[in-house]
Amino acid sequence: MAKTGKLIALVAVRKGSQRVKNKNIRAFGNTNLLELKLEVLKKVKQIDEIVVNSDCDYMLSIAKNHMVSTHKRENYYASSECTNSEFHGHVAQVTDCNFILLAPVCSPFVTVKSHEESIKMFLNSECDSLTSVTEVKNHLWLNNKPLNYDLNNVPNSQDLPDVVKLNYGITLANKELMSNQKRVVGDNPLFYKLDELESVDVDTEFDFEMAELFYRKRILGEI
């Protein structure tokens, strides 16, 4: 039976970006990462409400200009002292809905189609969460030993086991899971595979510059 209830897309941004200064609102092609994410989410049919959660008044003003809802975040929950678990539990508690889509602006290339497909998968499943993933076809090592292959019979990379990593470009969860267990990946998760471009995660200055080049080439056609 399909899940029913209110689905909120939560865009959590803060002013304390450490590795890439002002990452969320810094010029990115003809826009910025926050506005780019809002424009995509506004086209996703299944979203009932978009909420920008931030400690930054300027970012909240951008949200209001885009006619989406806002929540002023308490300073602690925007600080580096706050763990991911604490943050997830808190934002769920202050968000009035049944299901939460966490939509990070640092994943600028996740498409409307991928959002809609993943939401449909989640709502039509009995799973308590959905997280986007990236396929990993690399020879991995842990504690000085190969992790996913036999050193005496090294396979081609395409023949390695089907390992995936969580990229969090799309995260869907029952509010109850986030609020009570402070988690976004439940005991019965779904995984939605993104391609290489959609999996891009802007985490460093290098990531930002490369992502902007992709944006100018693929989206704006400038290069």
The reported pLDDT for the residue numbered 17 is 80
Q: If pLDDT is split at 50, 70 and 90, which confidence band does 207 have?
A: very high
Rounded average pLDDT over 94-102: 97
Residues 101-124 have pLDDT tens digits of 999 999 999 999 999 999 999 999
Rounded average pLDDT over 170-197: 97
Q: Beta strand pairing status for 163-174 and 129-136?
A: antiparallel
Which pTM does this prediction carry?
0.93
User: What are the structure tokens assigned to 190, written together?
Assistant: 């779904």
Q: How far apart are CA 117 and CA 122, in angstroms?
A: 9
Q: If pLDDT is split at 50, 70 and 90, which confidence band does 1 have?
A: confident
Cα torsion at 146, 151, 155, 159 (round to 10°)? -30
Using a 10 angstrom Cβ sphere, with 0-12 exposed, 13-18 middle and 19 or more buried, the burial of residue 6 is middle
pLDDT beyond 90 at 77: yes
Q: How far apart are CA 170 and CA 167, in angstroms?
A: 8
Neighbouring CB atoms inside 10 A of 183's CB total 19
The reported pLDDT for the residue numbered 141 is 97
Which helix (H) or strand (E) segment holds residue 213: the answer is helix 205-214
Q: Which domains does the chain have, with CATH numbers?
A: 7-219 (3.90.550.10)
The reported pLDDT for the residue numbered 143 is 97
Residues 112-162 have pLDDT tens digits of 999 999 999 999 999 999 999 999 999 999 999 999 999 999 999 999 999
**Which of 11, 35, 189, 36 is CA-nearest to residue 91?**
11
